Amino acid sequence: MLDIVGSKVRFTVLASLAKGSKLSIPVTPRSVARVYGVNLTETYRFFRRLESSGLAVRVRGGYVLSERGLALVDFIVSTLPNPTQWSSPFMEWVRRSVPDTMYYIAYPRLQSWFGLTPYLIVFDRRLAGALELPKGIKVVGESSGLGEGLVLAVFTSLRGKSFKYSWDYHLSIASLEQGYSDLISYTPFWTNIIPDVLLNRDVLDIDEIFERATGAGRRRLATALAYYMTLTGRVVTLKTPFYSLVDESLLSSVIEMTPYLLDSRILEARNI
Amino acid sequence: MNGRPGVQEFSEAVAKEVPDIKVLDEELEILSRGLRLSEGERLDVLRMLERVYYIVLLMRELQDYFNNLVQFGGGAVLNYIFISLMDVPRFTFDLDASWRGRVEGKRRLLGELTRFNKYMAQKHPISMPVDESKCLELMVVEYDVEKNHFPDILSLRLPVITRWSGLEFYKYVRARTGVRMKFNLVKELRRIFSNTLGVRDAKIDYVRFEISFNKEYPGVEVEVELPFKLGVANLNITELEYQLASKIVYKLGRDYGEDLGYVMHDILKATLDLRLLEAVDRRRVASYVTRIAGETGVTLAEVKTNITTNTRYLVERGGDYWNNIHYILVRSKYQDVGGLVREIQRKTMETLNP
């Protein structure tokens, strides 16, 4: 569609309005400009142009497509790109059905273990009940086990969350720290995720992960960090006073991470 | 005084956690038992006592937190808790403990120490600012990467702030974290150290300690008054008689063969600790010696022969080791190492030949 409309601003506004209108949810120029990283003035201008041409109407909480505009929804959605790199049915569903300002995908971008990559889709909580999730995407806390292909979903407020639309994947993706804080906070496989954070602490802002995490996430990360420092004798400098967050009930789970934190030769040689 | 977050808290923590010179001075008076020390000797002892303070503090905290799960033994307990009641101690800077109860591998113990660290961080909070916003936690236990060679002994260390030993604080930060502290922060911290400790470039040193596990030693609980006015503690210790018997079999009465020349320091340490024979049930020591010797496959006669050989060698060649700073108080009291060693040997033999 980018080829047809000729500008990123037009593409983003039309795609957001089309997907939002399907769910009867208004979108705001500000959120579109922020998530897609496009010019805010241009975005406002195009919304107003659509409004003046009768394709969009201003409602409480943003804009939606008008009756005339709604006739274009299926066409707009059908032209949305579906890049082959991320061409799973789940991702395609997200691309075509969910406004990019109302979700983001968190995944361990610094994954240092072999195996499938788990994904967490963080939806705006206003979408709860409005979306019919495809079979296989499990909502955290609603059912045990993982979704097919390790895809989990959570509905929460997106206020203050850090994410951007990726023009490569055509999906909204969490920032590095936001992604890790969500994976640690919400998913049952947080013990697989934390070694990534600890072993890549040079390229991550661990204080920001603490700030962005939920209470549970902070306790998990603090307990793991305290164990890691005791286990390895390595020092991590932080502004977060994490020892007060250490949760003793999580220690057994944290100790199970040991093989992922130290070289197996050291573990064997020193009987750790 | 400063606007940097954490600096004021750090200043208060330094004043609270680092032992006051007065406390060290009073302990020096008690330990030196009226000995006349030169100004240089006094200063040397004072410097060592700063580290001893932390050893005793760590022992108290481990005991308070783990209660019946830990048991202490070794030179630090023998010298700072018991020998100091009857004679001058030799200095030692390691704390030895054993874990009561079975553990599978060190990671389980390290998990327990993570819990302990939470306790320490709350009871002795001391976070040193290293840049505009970040801090480095001190007085929490960590795995000792430079040691830890034995499968059933976990080597650990506790970084503490000192006046005299260790690395200058900014060098320590650079060595451990790679952060080069900005001059303004160094200046600010220097002012704090100067005001609270009386030294500009305070240092960070490690209190090293070891926890052995999966080996049971006979233990007793003793109520003791800790040095440095650190209060009264109910310490779980390895029975003194057992500790002395171990020193007799494993150190003083061991056959070192051609390696004897290399272990003089260990033999001298054990010999000095055996001064405690005066204060214990010597029949019980003898009985433990027989038991331990049996377990290690040596006879009592062999132990006695080795004691004679080793102490003779110590008297003849131990003079160099005698000059070590660890024996500064013992040396001041007993000028003649030979006489002291012969006297302890006589008592040891007497114990083994009741």
Side-chain-facing half-sphere of B161: CA atoms under 13 Å: 32
Considering only CB atoms, B144 lies closest to which of A233, A252, A271, namely: A233
The span from the CA of A209 to the CA of A153, in Å, is 19
- Cβ distance B122 to A230 less than 8 Å, yes or no, reads no
The tokens describing B260, both together, are: 């004897």
pTM as predicted: 0.88
Whether B115 contacts chain A with CB within 8 A: yes
> A12, A47 in Cβ contact below 8 A?
no
- Cβ distance A258 to B136 less than 8 Å, yes or no, reads no
Confidence of residue B285 (pLDDT cuts 50, 70, 90): very high
- Cβ distance B151 to A229 less than 8 Å, yes or no, reads no
Q: Which residues of B246-279 are buried (b: 16+ CB within 10 A; e: fewer)?
A: bbbbebbbbebeeebeeebebbbbbbbbbbbbee
* Whether residue A140 is found in the same domain as residue A246: yes
The span from the CA of A221 to the CA of A185, in Å, is 9
Considering only CB atoms, B110 lies closest to which of A230, A239, A252, namely: A230
- Cβ distance A239 to B157 less than 8 Å, yes or no, reads no
- Cβ distance A239 to B135 less than 8 Å, yes or no, reads yes
* Whether residue A96 is found in the same domain as residue A164: yes
- Cβ distance A243 to B177 less than 8 Å, yes or no, reads no
Residue given tokens 């050893």 in the structure block: B55
* Whether residue A107 is found in the same domain as residue A178: yes
Q: For residue A163, which amino acid is it?
A: F
* Whether residue A98 is found in the same domain as residue A195: yes
Domain presence at residue A120: yes
Domain presence at residue A219: yes
Per-residue pLDDT for B25 more than 90? yes
Q: What value does the mean pLDDT of chain B take?
A: 93
The span from the CA of B135 to the CA of B121, in Å, is 13
B-chain CB neighbours of A228 within 8 Å are none
- The DSSP secondary-structure symbol of B129 reads E
Instruction: Tally the domains of chain A.
Output: 2
The ipTM is 0.88
- Cβ distance A246 to B142 less than 8 Å, yes or no, reads no
The span from the CA of A21 to the CA of A25, in Å, is 6
Considering only CB atoms, A248 lies closest to which of B6, B113, B115, namely: B115
* Whether residue A172 is found in the same domain as residue A48: no
Domain presence at residue A60: yes
Mark which of A78, A99, A130 sits at the end of a domain: A78
The span from the CA of B212 to the CA of B156, in Å, is 11
pLDDT at A96: 87
Mark which of A10, A43, A78 sits at the end of a domain: A78
Whether B180 contacts chain A with CB within 8 A: no
* Whether residue A180 is found in the same domain as residue A222: yes
The tokens describing B267, both together, are: 């033999």
Confidence of residue B335 (pLDDT cuts 50, 70, 90): confident
The tokens describing A86, both together, are: 């991320």
Whether B117 contacts chain A with CB within 8 A: yes
pLDDT at A3: 66
pLDDT at B272: 95
B-chain CB neighbours of A254 within 8 Å are 111, 114
* Whether residue A61 is found in the same domain as residue A154: no
Residue-wise pLDDT tens for chain A (272 aa)? 666 667 889 889 998 999 898 888 999 999 999 999 999 999 999 999 999 999 999 999 899 999 888 887 777 777 777 777 777 888 888 988 899 999 999 999 888 777 778 899 999 999 988 888 888 888 987 755 555 558 899 999 999 999 999 988 889 999 999 999 999 999 998 999 999 999 999 999 999 999 999 999 999 999 999 999 999 989 999 999 999 999 999 999 999 989 888 888 878 877 78
The span from the CA of B229 to the CA of A153, in Å, is 58
pLDDT tens, position by position, B216-266: 899 999 999 999 999 999 999 999 999 999 999 999 999 999 898 889 999
Would residue A136 be called left, alpha or beta, if left means φ above 0 and alpha means ψ between -120 and 50 degrees? left
pLDDT at A77: 77
Q: What value does the mean pLDDT of chain A take?
A: 89
pLDDT at A2: 61
CATH of the domain at A7: 1.10.10.10
Interface of A with B (CB under 8 A): 207, 223, 226-227, 229-233, 235, 237-239, 241, 243-244, 246, 248, 251-252, 254-255, 258, 270-272
CA distance readout (Å), B174 to B129, B181, B191: 13, 8, 20
- Cβ distance A237 to B157 less than 8 Å, yes or no, reads no
Find the mean pLDDT for residues B305-325: 89
Side-chain-facing half-sphere of A3: CA atoms under 13 Å: 3
Whether B122 contacts chain A with CB within 8 A: yes
Domain presence at residue A84: no
Per-residue pLDDT for B148 more than 70? no
The parent domain of residue A256 ranges over 89-269
Find the mean pLDDT for residues B327-338: 89
Domain presence at residue A83: no
Task: Estimate to the nearest angstrom the gap between the alpha carbon of B84 and the chain centroid.
Answer: 14
* Whether residue A48 is found in the same domain as residue A101: no
Per-residue pLDDT for B319 more than 90? no
Confidence of residue B33 (pLDDT cuts 50, 70, 90): confident
- Cβ distance B151 to A254 less than 8 Å, yes or no, reads no
Whether B130 contacts chain A with CB within 8 A: yes
Mark which of A55, A78, A101 sits at the end of a domain: A78
- Cβ distance A243 to B134 less than 8 Å, yes or no, reads no
pLDDT tens, position by position, B89-132: 999 999 999 999 888 888 999 999 999 999 999 999 999 999 98
The span from the CA of A31 to the CA of A29, in Å, is 6
* Whether residue A98 is found in the same domain as residue A66: no
pLDDT at A153: 94
B-chain CB neighbours of A251 within 8 Å are 111, 114-115
* Whether residue A251 is found in the same domain as residue A158: yes
Lowest mean pLDDT among A203-207, B6-10, B25-29: B6-10
B-chain CB neighbours of A223 within 8 Å are 114
* Whether residue A24 is found in the same domain as residue A48: yes
- Cβ distance B148 to A270 less than 8 Å, yes or no, reads yes
Q: What is the DSSP string of B139-207?
A: S--EE-TT---STTEEEEEEEEEESSSSEEHHHHHHHHH-----HHHHHHHHHHHHHHHS-SS-EEEEE
* Whether residue A61 is found in the same domain as residue A24: yes
pLDDT tens, position by position, B56-100: 999 999 999 999 999 999 999 999 999 999 999 999 999 999 999
The two beta strands, B94-99 and B203-212, are parallel
Q: In what order do the strands lie in the sheet with A103-106?
A: A138-139, A151-156, A119-124, A103-106, A171-174, A163-166
B-chain CB neighbours of A229 within 8 Å are 117, 137, 140, 142
pLDDT at A27: 92
pLDDT at B1: 38
Considering only CB atoms, A238 lies closest to which of B135, B148, B152, namely: B135
Domain presence at residue A105: yes
User: For an interface test with B, which of A210, A223, A239, A247 has the most B Cβ atoms less than 10 Å from its Cβ?
Assistant: A239
A-chain CB neighbours of B157 within 8 Å are 233
Domain presence at residue A195: yes
Domain presence at residue A71: yes
Considering only CB atoms, A233 lies closest to which of B105, B133, B145, namely: B145
pLDDT tens, position by position, B162-200: 999 999 999 999 999 999 999 999 999 999 999 999 999
The span from the CA of A182 to the CA of A105, in Å, is 10
| Three-state helix/strand/coil letters over chain A | CHHHHCCHHHHHHHHHHHHHHHCCCCECHHHHHHHHCCCHHHHHHHHHHHHHCCCEEEECCEEEECHHHHCCHHHHHHCCCCCHHHCCHHHHHHHHHCCCCCEEEECCCCCCCCCCCCEEEEEEHHHCCCCCCCCCCEECCCCCCCCCCCEEEEEECCCCCCEEEECCCCEEEECHHHHHHHHHHHCCCHHHHHHHHHHCCCCCCHHHHHHHCCHHHHHHHHHHHHHHHHHHCCCCCECCCHHHHCCHHHHHHHHCCHHHHCCHHHHHHCCC
- Cβ distance B114 to A223 less than 8 Å, yes or no, reads yes
Q: How far is B122 from chain A (nearest CA, A)?
A: 7
First to last CA, chain A: 57
